[in-house]
Amino acid sequence: MPELPEIEHLRQTLLPVLIRAEVRQVHLARPDIVRDFTNNSQKITPKRLLKGQRIKELSRRGKQLAIIAEDGSVLCVQLGMTGQLIFIPNGKKPQQSNHIHCTWHLTLGNNLMGKRGKLVFRDPRRFGCISVYRSMEDLQETRWSKLGPESPTITTRILKQQLNKTIRPIKAALLDQAIIAGVGNIYADEALFGAKIHPMTPACSIEGKPCTDLARSLRSVLKRAIAAGGSSISDYVDGNGQAGSFSTKHKVYQRAGKPCVSCKKPLSQTTIAQRSTVYCENCQQLIA
């Protein structure tokens, strides 16, 4: 599932073409991928999917992307496991034309004034969704208020406050979006390795230097992953249809049995919070 680096890089690659773009038409092939969390019984129509609106802003919180129109209405996109949000310039065809569930036909603005293209939401397994909101305030109150602090800017103090809330293993705590927003299986493994913390360590027992090291490792790993375009493990591509390259730099994720990059001993694997977890028994300390 795409995590914060993938969604942030997606946002950055879509910004040049979506800001000030006008949505001329919307074609919704699968209405079941659209959700309404605003207690609004109105039918999902092209107008509610921003038809006739100009796009004002793209915002991100954790693993979610918000497309904000000039009238204040918002679409919140979650890619799920296999979702893709790709801009297709006019005259070009998508690399994969199946499983496209929603298409926005655009007239571009800013430096691309008058040019046309389309934004497509593609999701083979349909775990992703598009949610409609009347405003950013609705989105904040309904969903984003439930998310923990942003992981790319997490401080030692805030991280310690969040970890004090649970006795679960630190790997499970990092996966909990209410504890810290944006981290999933890939970057939890990578950040814990960088901080030399065993994934079974109780979250509430991490303090002092280990907590500082973990906060620093989270910020570092996420920053480097964003710069590399994220990790493309299976379906993830950015707004231009390009895969990310950070998967070539993973030190532990999906490397069970291979030599540790630090001590050369074979990496171990276990399951925590129903997720495969790879770590180094020798380098990562279990804190009681």
Q: Is residue 284 assigned to a domain? A: no
Of 56, 134, 165, 275, which is the active-site residue? 275
What per-residue confidence (pLDDT) applies to 40? 64
Distances (CA, A) of 92 to 24, 95, 103, 161, 284: 18, 9, 14, 50, 49
| pLDDT string in tens for the chain (288-residue length) | 799 999 999 999 999 999 999 999 999 999 999 988 766 667 888 889 999 999 999 999 999 999 999 999 999 999 998 999 999 999 888 777 789 999 999 999 988 888 999 999 999 988 899 999 999 999 999 999 999 999 999 999 999 999 999 999 999 999 999 999 999 999 999 999 999 999 999 999 999 999 999 999 999 999 999 999 999 887 899 999 999 999 999 999 999 999 999 999 999 999 999 999 999 999 999 997
Distances (CA, A) of 9 to 85, 87, 266: 12, 14, 32
Owning domain of residue 134: 4-146
Same domain assignment for residues 273 and 201? yes
What per-residue confidence (pLDDT) applies to 41? 62
- Number of structural domains (the chain) is 2
Same domain assignment for residues 37 and 138? yes
The CATH number given to whatever domain includes residue 264 is: 1.10.8.50
Same domain assignment for residues 135 and 202? no
Same domain assignment for residues 119 and 186? no
Same domain assignment for residues 155 and 114? no
Specify the amino acid at residue 75: L
Q: Which residue among 146, 164, 189 closes a domain?
A: 146
What per-residue confidence (pLDDT) applies to 86? 97
- Decide: 51 and 105 in contact? Cβ < 8 Å: no
Same domain assignment for residues 35 and 117? yes
Same domain assignment for residues 112 and 166? no
Of 48, 63, 118, 168, which is the active-site residue? 63
Of 3, 6, 8, 190, which is the active-site residue? 3
2 catalytic? Reply is: yes
CA distance 261 to 258: 9
Same domain assignment for residues 35 and 141? yes
- Decide: 173 and 179 in contact? Cβ < 8 Å: yes
199 catalytic? Reply is: no
Q: Which residue among 98, 129, 146 closes a domain?
A: 146
Same domain assignment for residues 275 and 155? yes
Same domain assignment for residues 142 and 172? no
What per-residue confidence (pLDDT) applies to 152? 97
What per-residue confidence (pLDDT) applies to 38? 66
Task: Flag whether the pTM goes above 0.85.
Answer: yes
Q: Is residue 287 assigned to a domain? A: no
Same domain assignment for residues 121 and 18? yes
63 catalytic? Reply is: yes
118 catalytic? Reply is: no
Q: Which residue among 101, 121, 146 closes a domain?
A: 146
HSE (CB half, 13 Å, CA atoms) of 117?
Answer: 21
